[in-house]
Amino acid sequence: HRDEDFDDLAFTLNNLALVRMAQADYGEAAELWREALPIAEASGHMMYGPILIGLADVQCQELRTASGIEMSKQAVTVSNKTFGVDNWRSQRALLTRAYCRSRGNEGPAGEDIDTEAARAALAEIVERWGETNFFSQRASTQLGEILQGQE
C-alpha cells in the first residue's frame, strides 16, 4: 500500500513501538511514538492516527488519562478521516478512547461509555486480525477493563 512518496520513518517507528508495547516495554513504546508523532503530523502521514492511538493507549495505561483522553479523541477524528469509520484502525481508536475514559477520574469508571460500540470495535478488530494477533489481544484487554469498570 505504499507509493514512492511514502515516508518510511513514521511507519518504522510506529512498528517498533508496537513491538515494544507487545513486550510490555511501555516506556520505550511511548518514546518511539513521541518521536514518530511530529514526523507523521508534519507530513500528513497515514500513520498519524495509529501513532496517536498507541501513545494514547500507553498514557491511559499509566493513568495519565487527561492527555490520553484528548489524544484518543484526536485519534478517532484523524483515523475516521484517513481510514473511514468502519475500518479496523478507526475502531481501534474508538475502543482506545473508551478505554481511556474508563480509566479517567472525571467520575465513576466507565461512565457514559457505549459498551456496545466497544464490543463492536473489538469484533471488527478480531475479524480483521484473528483472535491471537497483538491488536486483537490488546483490544480484548481494553474491553475487559472497560466492562470491569462498569460493574
Q: Residue ranges of the chain with pLDDT lower than 70? A: 1-7, 105-111, 151
Q: What is the distance in angstroms between the CA of the first residue and the CA of the last residue of the chain?
A: 42
Q: What is the pLDDT of residue 132?
A: 96
How many alpha carbons fall within 13 Å on the CB side of residue 100?
A: 28
pLDDT at 108: 46
Buried b / exposed e over 101-134, threshold 16 CB at 10 Å, is bbbbeeeebbeebeeeebeebbebbbeeeeeeee
> What value, to the nearest 5°, has the Cα angle with vertex 133 and ends 150 and 65?
40
Whether 107 contacts 149, CB under 8 Å = no
